[in-house]
Amino acid sequence: MFGAFERTVAMRYLMSRKSDRFTSIIGTFSLVGIMLGVATLIIVLSVMGGFRQELLGRILGLNGHMGIYAADRGNLRDFDAITATIRRQPGVVTATPVVEGQVLLSGAGNSATGGLARGIRPEDLRTKAIVANNIRAGSLEQFEGDDAVAIGTRLAYRLGLNVGDKITMISPQGRATVIGTIPRLRAYTVVALFEVGMNEYDSSYVFMPLPAAQVYFQTTPEAVTQIEVFVQDPTRVRAVNAEIRRALNQPVRIIDWQDSNSSFFAAVQVERNVMFLILTLIIIVAAFNIISTLIMLVKDKGKDIAVLRTMGATSGSIMRIFLMCGAWIGVSGTLAGFALGVLFCKNIENIRQFVQWVIGAELFSAEIYFLTQLPAVLNWNEVGQVVTLALTLALLATIYPSWRAAKTDPVEMLRNE
């Protein structure tokens, strides 16, 4: 489609010379604009995708894909039989009985904070990979009996605790006495510190053996507050939900992750879509810069166009010359932006650490953003869409100036010269 003649002339026009250096600078700015637009779009989409994936993995990794509760909002009785029935259902990976409740936690000195105590069987906690694989101190081998708990590292830091220290739990559901309701208070030994990488869990969760939790929260030995269920495919949780209801054949409440976290993940998706639209404007602005660059180039090369036409160059050849000029800017900027965006995403955590070291301030607070590291997950389908979008806009921007150049009347142009 593009002959040697068109390629040679196009490259000569793109080379900077004293007479048209201003046009060349404008072209460079257009290239840089497309590069930054593509790179920024890739980085933002990767970070937003990383946020969603990390939050989904950590939220579902600790809380389960669905919870089975008693229909009367009380405790779930005969949980061993119900758990066995759930585990037999297709698509179910694990079913774990849990006793949980809100507590006030206190440690050394006068420090205190609210938290969530979860009673779970020791063998079930040891198979929960998100906790068992992230033990930072102590061991889950001592997680048994009625005087052992595992807490998050941030909670331990806040309360000034370490392995072997005592943590005091105070339950708002006290016991009734002749002088009124007295809160239940009990001290437990910290046997392990975990760090799952999500601030909410690391700073508020306390795990304790299931029998100890049943005693502390005054539930009977055959009752729990819920059964936590993990399924093979979280996207098909509604289908497994229906199977469990049919198998149990009794009234229960089932709350899955889509119900309990729907607004949160919907907000993340909406923000991601809005950022895509906003950042696409950067590429559109850069594409308009290509139009202005080519129009200026056509005006500057009017005499050259007239000479080429009188020497036998067709209007199609002239159009292809300026199409190549604009395409070179668009393709070069897109490829440079692609390389910059991918390279940035691959090293985003190291870049964050370096910037924090330079400015001496924290850029990614775990208390605000929930995660302890800045995630970036490259979705190659999305990267391909960004590159295709940039190339399409850049090539479309070259059509009108190239068409104007092809329609230049050589006689009129030389008469004006």
Model pLDDT for residues 295-354, shown as the tens digit of each residue: 777 776 667 777 777 777 777 777 777 788 778 888 888 899 999 999 988 888 788 777
| Separation between Cα atoms, residue 105 and residue 186, nearest integer Å | 10
| Mean predicted confidence (pLDDT) in 124-132 | 89
Q: What is the pLDDT of residue 340?
A: 92
Model pLDDT for residues 216-272, shown as the tens digit of each residue: 988 888 899 999 999 888 878 888 988 998 898 888 888 888 777 767 667 767 777
Rg (CA), the chain: 32
With residue 352 as reference, give the H or E element that holds it. helix 348-359
- Look at residue 29 and tell me whether its pLDDT is greater than 70: yes
- Look at residue 371 and tell me whether its pLDDT is greater than 60: no
Q: What is the pLDDT of residue 85?
A: 92
Chain centroid to Cα 259, Å, comes to 20
Model pLDDT for residues 134-174, shown as the tens digit of each residue: 999 999 999 998 899 999 999 999 999 999 999 999 987 76
**Is residue 329 within 8 Å of residue 402, measured between CB atoms?**
no
Lowest mean pLDDT among 12-16, 23-27, 240-244, 410-414: 410-414
Place of tokens 């105070």: 170
Token readout for 169 is 């739990």
Chain centroid to Cα 292, Å, comes to 37
Cβ-based neighbours of 383, under 8 Å, separated by 6 or more: 42, 45, 338, 341, 342
**Is residue 67 within 8 Å of residue 261, measured between CB atoms?**
no
